[in-house]
């Protein structure tokens, strides 16, 4: 190898390695204090993060102890069992954390997967942007915009590991660009592989990318006559579909089988509640240390506010706007295919924005916007909507009562068409998650803005490197959430869990009220004490268990105790604080029940600490607040 070739090869390797080092360092900073205790705690309050701890622990148990990997846990929702396939199994994230899972356990595996999602999301976007612009700094700034976006950091607060698996989407677009630019079908293998990894991170992202990536490809491939006559395009398409099907098929097949057995869908009313509002994209970063405390009031009382944190950032918007402005000036745009890429990004990002707004228009609240209309028109509209939604749709649903307001109508959006007519779309609860693709498109456009700005500075003899560094610093400052404002949860057994682990015999455990039991921490407790749970957690519950919902809610009625006895429950854990004002009534009814005998009271330790704004936003009625657990033994003949 000649010296020139060796130097060129070294330079090509040094640039992405340098970017990787930067994103590792930035991920340590932006996820602080994750690095302080990666094997003993998780970021955010104990919520869905504990669900994925449970899934990781169960998979390790079936892999190492049973030597028969399985997604089905018979000890959850006992006696019916729970298949993790009905929720996000997030196989790609599990694979990232597998080495840590086998060596150190589920907490280290969860944290490693979470941390790598930041590093790889930044690096994946760097690869895409630097290949489009030829600029290292553009890739670095765009990668930071994507990796550390408020959307991603907010889902850390919710413990939603699948939704952090965003790193494969930029590489999917990069592979698609290589198909079109290099005219080689083999890059289609990359399209299919990275799409498959996206799907195996989150079924939501599979749905979203499956809808909008074809739009990007169609717009990007214009004029179509130039590409559709090329053999390599069709060969690449075939390769992408084949690879994606082979990778996704084994994982999604159990889910499709279960979909016929369970009601795996959501009502239109429930879906509309999880729509984004226009203001969600504009509200300043709710996690920023300087002004985040002032903006939390916008989400006051919203139980899952992190689903609506979609702030794009004013610095990224200005950079993207600069890129679009320069693209309209003759001779000022980036060379090559950049103008076509911009058009395709605008189409994909625009449609993603519209779909994220959900089934009806929302401005700043979970309630839809009600538009005043002349008398009589509201009744005509309601009749039309009622018939359309309940009678003339593929995915029929009850007509949402919240749409009806005298003298007003709501504005249906395209997502309603998809919900009513596209198969499986009524299983998509949170349409605001389309905001990820808005963030992706913004990051690429902003990266183009960085490249153009630095080129202009070089032309006038300015400090282009200093400009790149300053822009990166501004983005990080605007997106900062340091230290993580929603606290840290120590992962360890509570006193009642430790006590249960010491009890001998085969029996099941029930925890009440259900508002507390149906959460991640009580599910994870079952893995720690080793007893079957007559409750569980996940996206969808077994139909046979749901059929007893009202009876369980009536605890300690005779009917509820009969159901618990039928399910082999010996001990019932009752959380006093979660009953609130009803606790005095419940204690009186328990005392009157001969079938329940008090065993003991186990005050819980406070394992959640360092919270600045989560409790202030959501309120104190939290299922994971340290409670006082009263344990009763069930003695029903």
Give tens-digit pLDDT for 195-219. 999 999 999 999 999 999 999 999 9
* Tens digits of residue pLDDT in 247-262: 999 888 766 666 554 4
The answer to whether residues 169 and 177 touch, using CB atoms and an 8 Å cutoff, is no
| pLDDT > 50? residue 306 | yes
* Amino acid 264: pLDDT: 67
Cβ 197 vs Cβ 120: under 8 Å: no
CA nearest 147: which of 451, 446, 476? 476
DSSP 8-state assignment for residue 538: S
Share above pLDDT 90 across residues of the chain, in percent, rounded to a whole number: 73
Q: Are 155 and 163 in contact (CB under 8 A)?
A: yes
580 against 194, higher pLDDT: 194
**Structure confidence at residue 423 (pLDDT):** 86
C-beta atoms surrounding 74 within 10 Å: 13
Mean pLDDT of 313-329: 91
The backbone region for 90, taken as left when phi is positive above 0, alpha when psi lies in -120 to 50, beta otherwise, is left
| Mean pLDDT, rounded, of the chain | 91
The per-residue pLDDT for range 76-96, each reduced to its tens digit, is 999 999 988 888 889 999 999
pLDDT above 50 (res 489): yes
Distance between CA atoms of 236 and 240, rounded to whole angstroms? 6
Q: What pairs with residue 571 in β-bridges?
A: 509, 633
Q: Which of 2-11, 24-33, 371-380, 602-611 has the lowest mean pLDDT?
A: 2-11
pLDDT, tens digit, for every residue of 110-137?
Answer: 999 999 999 999 999 999 999 999 999 9
- Residue-wise pLDDT tens digits, 553-584: 999 999 999 999 999 999 999 999 999 889 99
Which pLDDT value is given to residue 45?
92
Q: Look at residue 603 and tell me whether its pLDDT is greater than 50.
A: yes
The 10s digit of each residue's pLDDT in 339-366 is: 899 999 999 999 999 999 999 999 987 8
Which helix (H) or strand (E) is 575 found in, with range?
A: strand 569-575
Residue 575, strand partner residues:
629
- The pLDDT score that the predictor gives to residue 354 is 97
> Does residue 619 surpass a pLDDT of 60?
no
Position 164 scores a pLDDT of: 97
What is the rounded end-to-end Cα distance, in angstroms, of the chain? 84
Q: Model-level pTM?
A: 0.94
Per residue in 383-395, pLDDT tens? 999 999 998 888 8
DSSP run (H or E) holding 608: strand 608-611
């Amino acid at each position: 190898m000649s010296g020139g070739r060796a130097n060129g090869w070294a330079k090509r390797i040094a640039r992405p390695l340098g970017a990787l080092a930067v994103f590792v360092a930035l991920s340590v900073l932006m996820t602080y204090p994750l690095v302080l205790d990666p094997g003993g705690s998780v970021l955010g309050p104990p919520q869905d993060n504990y669900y994925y701890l449970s899934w990781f622990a169960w998979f390790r148990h079936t892999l190492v102890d049973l030597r028969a990997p399985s997604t089905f846990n018979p000890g959850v929702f006992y006696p019916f069992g729970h298949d993790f396939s009905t929720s996000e199994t997030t196989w790609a994230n599990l694979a990232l954390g597998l080495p840590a899972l086998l060596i150190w356990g589920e907490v280290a595996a969860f944290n490693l997967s979470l941390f790598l999602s930041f590093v790889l999301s930044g690096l994946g976007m760097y690869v895409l942007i630097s290949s489009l612009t030829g600029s290292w700094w553009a890739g670095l700034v765009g990668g930071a915009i994507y990796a550390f976006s408020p959307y991603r950091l907010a889902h850390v607060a919710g413990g939603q590991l699948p939704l952090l698996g965003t790193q494969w989407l930029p590489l999917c677009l990069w592979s698609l660009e290589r198909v079109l630019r290099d005219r080689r079908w083999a890059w289609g293998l990359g399209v299919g592989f990275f799409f498959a990894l996206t799907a195996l991170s989150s079924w939501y992202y599979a749905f979203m990318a499956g809808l909008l990536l074809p739009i990007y490809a169609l717009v990007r491939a214009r004029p179509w006559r130039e590409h559709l006559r090329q053999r390599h395009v069709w060969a690449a398409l075939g390769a992408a579909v084949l690879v994606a099907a082979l990778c996704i098929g084994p994982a999604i097949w159990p889910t499709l089988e279960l979909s016929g057995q369970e009601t795996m869908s959501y009502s239109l009313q429930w879906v509309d509640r999880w729509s984004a509002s226009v203001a969600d994209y504009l509200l300043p970063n709710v996690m920023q240390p300087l002004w985040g405390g002032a903006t939390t009031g916008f989400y006051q009382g919203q139980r899952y506010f992190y689903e609506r944190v979609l702030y794009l950032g004013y610095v990224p918007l200005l950079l993207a706007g600069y890129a679009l402005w320069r693209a309209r000036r003759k001779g000022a745009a980036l060379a090559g295919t950049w103008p076509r890429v911009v058009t395709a990004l605008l189409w994909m990002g625009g449609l993603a924005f519209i779909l994220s707004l959900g089934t009806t228009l929302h401005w700043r609240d979970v309630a839809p916007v009600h538009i005043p209309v002349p008398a009589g028109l509201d009744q005509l509209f309601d009749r039309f909507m009622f018939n359309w939604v309940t009678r003339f749709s593929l995915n029929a649903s009850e007509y949402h009562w919240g749409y009806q307001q005298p003298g007003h109508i709501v504005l249906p959006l395209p997502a309603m068409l998809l919900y009513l007519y596209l198969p499986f779309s009524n299983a998509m609860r949170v349409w605001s998650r389309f905001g990820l693709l808005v963030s992706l498109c913004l990051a690429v456009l902003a990266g183009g803005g960085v490249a153009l700005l630095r080129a202009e500075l070089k032309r006038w003899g300015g400090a282009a490197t200093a400009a790149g560094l300053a822009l990166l610093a501004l983005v990080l400052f605007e997106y900062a959430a340091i230290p993580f404002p929603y606290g840290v949860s120590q992962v360890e057994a509570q006193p009642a869990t430790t006590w249960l682990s010491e009890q001998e015999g085969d029996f099941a455990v029930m925890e009440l009220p259900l508002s507390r039991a149906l959460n991640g921490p009580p599910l994870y407790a079952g893995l720690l004490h080793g007893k079957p749970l007559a409750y569980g957690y996940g996206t969808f519950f077994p139909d046979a268990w749901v059929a007893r919902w009202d009876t369980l809610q009536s605890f300690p009625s005779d009917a509820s105790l009969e159901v618990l006895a039928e399910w082999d429950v010996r001990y019932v854990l009752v959380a006093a604080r979660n009953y609130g004002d009803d606790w005095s009534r419940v204690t009186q009814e328990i005392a009157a029940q001969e079938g329940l005998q008090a065993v003991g009271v186990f005050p819980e330790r406070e394992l959640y600490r360092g919270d600045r704004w989560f409790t202030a936003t959501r309120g104190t009625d939290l299922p994971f607040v340290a409670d006082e657990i009263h344990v009763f033994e069930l003695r029903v003949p």
